[in-house]
Structure 1
Amino acid sequence: MTSNAIHGAREGAEARDDMTGEATFSCETSWGPRIGETGTLFRLWAPGAQSIELAIGKADGPDFLAMERDEAGWWRVETDRVAIGGGYGFRVNGDMVVPDPAARAQIDGVHGLSRLVDPKAYRWKTADWKGRPWEETVFYELHTGTFTPEGTFEAIIEKLDYLKEVGITAVELLPVAEFSGRRGWGYDGVYLYAPHEVYGGVEGLKRLVDAAHERGLMVFLDVVYNHFGPDGNYLGVYAPEFFHPEIHTAWGAAIAYDKKPVRDFMIENALYWLEEFRIDGLRLDAIDSIEDTTDEPLIRELASAVRTRITDRHVHLTSEDARNITWHIERNKDCSPKYVSGEWNDDFHHTAHAIATKESEGYYQDYSRSAVKQMARALAEGFVYQGDHSRHRDKDVGFPSAHLPPTAFVNFLQNHDQIGNRAFGERLTDLASRRLVAVLQSILLLSPQIPLMFMGEEYGETNPFCFFTDFHGELGEIVREGRRSEFKHFAAFRNPENRKLIPDPNDEETFLQCKMDWTAARGRPTYRRRLDLVERLLTLRRERIVPLLKGMGGHAGRYHVDESTDAFAVSWRLAGDNVLRLFANLDDEPWNVPQAVTAGAAAAGEVLFEHEAGAAESLATGVLPGPSVVFRFAPNLQIGKDS
């Protein structure tokens, strides 16, 4: 099944003002309003509806204008009666008035009328921005509502210079599509084309992207194509064909991706963010939860559309998938991505977390017994589980990944899920020794995989990041109790009284406690020390490692693990036959490094980085103190076979 989007039937458009030369960008889609010279064309796919009328917002109540239906189930009407900024909706079968599912903005939350937006109203300052190559990416994942006290796109702009100084190259926003209430993670969006009005809406997001590009920073956006949120989604009222009620998911009926209008809705949405908002890349959330009954996976078609349509600048895609699949991150002969640029590698996170915290419940049971060996494998080969049996899932998981370059993987020590899915939203800084976290952070930022940090990680933020929503009534109670019941299988929460201690997601105080503490970011000595370390690491990465990542092929990594202690060595063949070596001791006791590891390697080449001071000198004598790490550029010598 092939969408017209791939063939360019709906093109993104750039226009320039004849007087000022300022540029505007838009993306025409089959869903949503299309503003023309004589009026606006309004459209809605509702194949089973008996009648659809355009509801035109007025102070004393809406007027209604009949719409015409074609054979494919599309209802259309063109009129000049809705002004830019005016409200509109659709009356279904002479009864309920619903918003436009592809609205670009909402007037009064998810249940109000949609607002007509001129896509060409914003004048871009950075129209010539060409993006940045994938290998330069250093992600900084943030939640708009808690990143600053104001919780807006505008407030993020004020922090961009700081992020650039740290060494960040890509700001990644948690989902911003309009969702119910004023606060939430964003994964319950219901109007996927409308930036959340509380954050600043269309204008605010475009200003943020423009400001980031002025500073040489990329902006990525997390998008959700596996479900809609539970409050404000009216698609089932007038287009039940949008879903497959017989296919159940964790969020209800599966989205009917075998129907062309449905498929186009999502593929066009991806193009819309990339073209009209000049977004540099998308994170495709939980693609393993997309129930696609067609022979052509949605993600392959979506990625092909992006690669085909946008060729004048760097645009990237990342994905989250618990299956450890690899077909979507395969490379072309020139090592460029065929479809997705990089996969979020939970395996790396889980090994690091198990090492740092010694936790073994939930999915950590798959990593607690041999986490150090698994970390070495993840660094050298990509996934830990490459067809191996998972005790937690009681099945074989994954596919071989060593043939892929390290840059096909996005590694992290923390992210919104891994912090926020904890009962109290604790960060790693509160769960492990600061020295060990610093060693792990050094491994993350200097290894050739694409690194990601969660907001505040650069200085060791300790404020929690909890799960929070803004639901009320029966839905609020369901979410509150559902959240607490998620932890009943954990030893600490088997007692129902203990589960009552888990923060209420709907309590505004839960949200407010998750705000970053900017007053402490540079003031406390421990924070300043961590920030200095991260800035130093990212400078080294930018100057010494990134130039050697482009064109890096597969089977680039080798690793050696000392089974008697928590220590390992990894080497990567970078571009130009340069070799990067990592020696890591994650134990408190010194590591007597085997001769097979140190022979000719530890004493050769340049010491790129060490933590703590003196580690490299000690390594040269055959002993690596713990916990510590040493990175070297060395001649092309083997340090041992995979073990």
Structure 2
Amino acid sequence: MRRNHTMPFGAQVEKDGVRFALWAPTATDVTLVLDGADHAVPDTGEGWRVVTVQGVANGARYGYRIDGDLVVPDPASRFQPDDVSGLSEVVDPRAFDWTDAAWTGRPWEETVLYELHVGTATPDGTYAALEAKLEELRDLGVTAIELLPLADFKGTRNWGYDGVLPYAPDGAYGRPGDLKRLIDRAHSLGLMVFLDAVYNHFGPAGNYLNAYAKTFFTERHQTPWGAGINFDGETSGRTVRDFFIENSLYWLEEYHFDGLRFDAVHAILDDSEKHFIGELAETVRARLPGRHIHLVLENEANQAKWLEREADGRPIQHTAQWADDLHHCWHVLLTGEEAGYYESFADKPVAHLARCLAEGFAYQGEPFPTLDNHPRGEPSSHLPPSAFVTFLQNHDQVGNRALGERLSALSDPAKLALARAGLLLSPQIPMLWMGEEWSASTPFLFFVDFAPDEELNKAVREGRRREFKSFAAFADDTSVIPDPTEAKTFTDSRLDWSEAERAPHRGVWADTRNLLQIRHQTVVPLTRTAYRGAQASLPRPDAVDCTWRYESGWLRFVANFGDAPLETPRGGGQIVWCNGADVVTGETIELPSWTGIFLTGVN
């Protein structure tokens, strides 16, 4: 099985040679530099420069000379063997022979996500090393891995959110064929593979678009990273939109990814009649109707409109959104932290949790304290739980802490065990952060590599320390904050998989596996049927009682977060999980402090 995504951008291997196409609307002269020789590139109108060259071998190196001086890589390069400023490589995607021709994905309701950073998920930090871990993840009960962004970034270590060449998987982890081999192997094991895609900005090093396509950006929109991407420009918007829509299709078709997670879509500023993320979803749905394709948003604005369903429950546009609100509720309950955005959940964390469990968003248009009481969110109670991806940890919530501590280093193990069950047995789509399944002791720190640009390294280093100087723990000494530019910060973040075989980590791994077995046996069969709504109540201000109803039955979660025991009516049903030796069930449920129970029954 050979796969190739045909697109108007980049180097396309065709029958009569390789077609090179560059959109360079603000360049006066463009020359193709191919294996050391220059080739004229005709102007074909509307900013496009296109030429087909015969006799070009797979692996040839090329770039574009702009206005007789600067040589830049192809913005749609399929691979950069010499990093973001080097020449691009011609890649014939049909050279890879896939074995997963019958694979069409898995239904969304079966999804258990495992988010990971390729460079730190294994000691070697490569696609090949990760491939060797896939069977372990399958046996744990994971059904999908989600890779942090792969778009080529400056240097050899980065989270991936500083990518500047969206079509080129970074060479720090291997070659394109190695990534395809990872995905092919995952599919053979029944695992889906998701990719985090960043369409709201480019990284600070290695982006050459301003040298020949200044209108790719616009000062009309300002983002945390500077001028916004010009999705709605009168003359440039169509090409800019196509550049990213084609990128999504490229990953889904040529690499056979099963889904994409779109980073911070609230920072994609677009005044068009149809917003870019709406057009993107509609295009993907129309192009790939025969596959299970899952599109997930990160959206601080909590806009339910992107998550609407057809009458039969299928997503109209996007499949789900990361449920940050639910994370914040659990984090406040487990740690007692109230700084930053946690302040907006610290006043009544159990009540917020109850609303999130039953309705998705905690804030659905109410004033949000962290935003100076500006309204945040849209009504979401009509959406099914599967419209939300839930988590106790992720790369942001761990890595954006000064010391990169995991939740297991901040909370009581017994309390964390209750939260783990609440995550993995509730009907939302759960996501684990790499190593969470055994409470890994390794931190996940913020790291970059902008060498030899020491000025940029210095700016990142000092900015990181300024960011945390307002925190009491670092007010007098920020030197304890790991230097993000040092290689040690990166290597300290690598997982030690052998921990999972030792106490106490072995017990956490066994608990995670048991919970996922219960999920697949009991929860997923319910969620495959039509959703009928949910209701949550507070038996006491420190306890939650939530019931989700489906066509084939119901699921109920009762948890006591207070110090005093909780007694509440049982109301029937079969117990599928409870914690604590002192939990008593009969006609009533008696829950000691920080214990919970899941029950299920037929309607």
TM-score (norm 1): 0.91
Map Cα deviations across residues 2-29 of structure 1 (whole Å, 9 max, x no partner): xxxxxxxxxxxxxxxxxxxxx1111111
SS in 1 for 2:577: strand
Aligned residue number for residue 355 of structure 1: 333
Deviation string for 1:558-605 (max 9, x for gaps)? 1111444x21110110232x1111110123432243xxxx1xxx1512
Match of 1:567 in 2: 543
Does the 8 Å CA contact 2:582/2:591 hold for their aligned counterparts? no
- 2:329 aligned partner, one-letter code: T
Aligned ranges 1:168-179 → 2 under 5 Å: 168-179=142-153
Name the residue aligned to 1:639.
none
The letter of the residue matching 1:574 is: Y
Q: 1:622 deviation in Å? A: 4.5
Residue 486 of structure 1 aligns to a residue whose secondary structure is helix
CA distance in 2, matches of 1:589, 1:123: 61
- Does residue 1:217 correspond to 2:191, yes or no? yes
SS in 2 for 1:253: strand
Q: Does 1:628 align with 2:602?
A: no
Tell me, in whole angstroms, the C-alpha distance in 2 between the residues paired with 1:550 and 1:335.
10
Q: Counterpart amino acid of 1:503? A: P
Amino acid at match of 1:348: L
1:534 aligned to 2:524? no
Structure 1 residue 623: Cα displacement:
2.3
Q: Cα offset for 1:344?
A: 0.2
Which deviates more from structure 2 when the two are superposed, residues 618-627 or residues 405-414? 618-627
Structure 2 Cα separation of the partners of residues 569 and 32 of structure 1 = 55
The reply to whether residue 521 of structure 1 matches residue 500 of structure 2 is: yes
Distance 1:197 1:317 in 2: 26
Q: 1:96 aligns with which of 48, 55, 70?
A: 70
- For the residues of structure 1 that align with 2:479 and 2:74, how far apart are their CA atoms? 39
Secondary structure of residue in 2 paired with 1:247: strand
CA spacing shift, 1:31–1:579, aligned 2, 3 Å: same
**Alpha-carbon deviation of 1:548?**
1.4
**What does residue 227 of structure 1 align with?**
201
Higher mean C-alpha displacement, 368-377 vs 348-357: 368-377
Structure 1: gaps of 5 or more residues: 1-22, 637-643
402, 405, 408: which one aligns with 2:381: 402
Q: Distance in 2 between matches of 1:441 and 1:606?
A: 20
1:139 partner amino acid: L
Change (3 A) 1:619 1:356: farther
Q: Does 1:276 pair with 2:251?
A: no
How many Å separate the matches in 2 of 1:360 and 1:83?
59
CA gap 1:622/1:209 in 2 versus in 1, 3 angstroms = closer
5 Å-filtered alignment, 1:366-385, equals 366-385=344-363
2:4 counterpart residue number: 26
Contact 2:27/2:211 (8 A) holds in 1:
no
Q: 1:131 aligns with which of 105, 108, 122?
A: 105
Q: Please give the alpha-carbon distance, in whole angstroms, between the structure 2 residues aligned to 1:586 and 1:209.
A: 41
1:5 equivalent in structure 2:
none
Segments of structure 2 that go 5 or more residues without pairing to the other structure are none
Identity %: 46
Q: Which residue of 1 aligns with 2:464?
A: 483
Question: Distance in 1 between the 2:154 and 2:108 partners?
Answer: 34
How far off its partner does 1:215 sit? 0.1
CA contact (8 A) 2:357 2:546 kept: yes
Q: Deviations over 1:362-397 (max 9, x none)?
A: 000001120011111100111000111111111111
Could you tell me whether the CA contact under 8 Å between 2:25 and 2:213 is conserved in 1?
yes
SS at match of 2:93: coil
Q: CA deviation at 1:414?
A: 0.2
Question: Residue 601 of structure 2 aligns to which amino acid in structure 1?
Answer: A
Q: Which amino acid aligns with 2:136?
A: Y
- Equivalent-residue separation in structure 2 for 1:115 and 1:96 (angstroms): 18
Matches within 5 A, 1:444-463: 444-463=423-442
* 1:82, distance to aligned residue in structure 2 (A): 3.3
CA distance in 2, matches of 1:418, 1:302: 27
Do 1:335 and 1:551's aligned partners in 2 also have CA atoms closer than 8 Å? Answer: no
* Count of aligned pairs: 596
Which residue identity lines up with residue 331 of structure 1 in the other structure? R
SS of residue matched to 2:97: coil
2:573 is aligned with what amino acid?
G
Partner residue in 2 for 1:411 = 390
Partner of 1:72: 46
Give 3-state SS (helix, strand or coil) of 1:506's partner. coil
Instruction: Please report the RMSD computed on the Cα atoms of aligned residues, expressed in angstroms.
Output: 1.3
